[in-house]
Amino acid sequence: MKKENSRRSFIKNISLATFSALALSGCDMEAFDEFLQQNFRTLSKKEKDKIIKNLENKYKEKYGKEFHVSDKPAIEGTLFGYALDLSRCVGCRRCVYACVKENNQSREPQIHWIEVLQMEKEKGIDFAHSNAKYNPEKVPEKGYFYLPVQCQQCRNPQCVIVCPVKATWQEPDGIVVVDYNWCIGCRYCMAACPYGARHFNWGEPNVPVEEINSEMHYLGNRPRKKGVVEKCTFCIQRAREGKYPACVEICPVGARKFGNLLDPDSEIRYILENKRVLVLKQELNFQPKFYYFFGI
């Protein structure tokens, strides 16, 4: 007996129909290319160059100015580390907004990669009783200290392990990055991160044209789209050019320190060797490369 409506023929027909519809509608081929684009790590140099050129053109069309999208790989012999002086931070949130601006985070709906927690000195580091929405006239407030939290760039990152499509990974210089084109938006990584460092684009991200930062890295601050996860990359577009991250440069009290953990002369190594240092949620053994210390 002949089977007219088999599953096989259904699938065959539907894919045929889709392709012909795409071809007929004259749908723009770039979007189609983008849809078929492979994971960033499997792309050849030639493919990367082409994709980046397309991106630069696309951004220019959308925002009306020149863009530079880099795909600079890790500098050999670097492992980035970060240290934050808890005895200095006054909770002014300058870092939060410098980060938003540098990394083209969505203004509406709002996304912040850095969250500053206010904690009672009497209780110590206590997330359950911390407050991120403090808003007094002046900071610091008496009896409180401030603990900014962002991606801790773990050596043992569970967000990477749980990703079902390998859209996020740790680069050789220790930065955990996301391929926004490969991310399927399942948010497993957000569930796996105990620091709340990953953020989801619930809506179409919105960055004012005049405020957009045109110096970009493919794995960093290029514009994201709705339905993908993003996170702090130690300002990969700056760090790999030898510059300090934006949060380090803005901090008015100099509480934020950044450098190469493999360089024995770096300030980060000095801190690890000479100051009292801690990492958050040490018991989880994620081994952050983001250290907190007491400078006094």
Contact indicator for 231, 198 with CB cutoff of 8 Å: yes
| By the rule CB under 8 A, 136 interacts with another protein | yes
Size of the site for another protein (CB under 8 A): 55
Restricting to residues 262-291, name those near another protein by CB under 8 A: 262-267, 270-271, 275
With CB under 8 A as the contact rule, the residue among 67, 69, 89, 91 that binds another protein is: 91
With CB under 8 A as the contact rule, the residue among 34, 37, 58, 134 that binds another protein is: 134
Restricting to residues 108-127, name those near another protein by CB under 8 A: 109-110, 112, 115
| By the rule CB under 8 A, 220 interacts with another protein | no
Restricting to residues 8-67, name those near another protein by CB under 8 A: none
| By the rule CB under 8 A, 174 interacts with another protein | yes
Q: Let me know if 170 is exposed, middle or buried by CB neighbors in 10 A (0-12, 13-18, 19+).
A: middle
Minimum separation from the CB atom of position 7 to another protein (A): 42
Q: How many CB atoms lie within 10 A of CB 215?
A: 15
Amino acid (one-letter) located at 90? V
Minimum separation from the CB atom of position 175 to another protein (A): 11
| By the rule CB under 8 A, 73 interacts with another protein | no
d(C-alpha 119, C-alpha 124), whole Å: 7
Of the listed pieces 38-46, 69-77, 176-184, 214-222, which binds another protein according to CB under 8 A?
69-77
| By the rule CB under 8 A, 205 interacts with another protein | no
Reported as half-sphere exposure (CB side, CA atoms, 13 A), residue 193 has a value of: 27
Cα pseudo-dihedral 121, 124, 127, 131, rounded to 10: 0
Of the listed pieces 35-43, 58-66, 84-92, 208-216, which binds another protein according to CB under 8 A?
84-92
Provide the angle, in degrees to the nearest 10, between the axes of the packed helices 45-63 and 29-36.
130
With CB under 8 A as the contact rule, the residue among 102, 173, 179, 230 that binds another protein is: 173
Nearer to another protein, 52 or 246 (CB): 246
Residue with structure tokens 């088999």?
6
Cα pseudo-dihedral 39, 45, 46, 48, rounded to 10: 40
Q: Let me know if 112 is exposed, middle or buried by CB neighbors in 10 A (0-12, 13-18, 19+).
A: middle
The DSSP bridge partners found for residue 85 are: 293
Kind and range of the H or E run holding 267: helix 267-274
Q: Write out the residues near another protein by the rule CB under 8 A.
A: 75-79, 85, 90-94, 96-97, 109-110, 112, 115, 132-140, 172-174, 202-203, 239, 242-244, 248-249, 251-254, 257-260, 262-267, 270-271, 275, 295
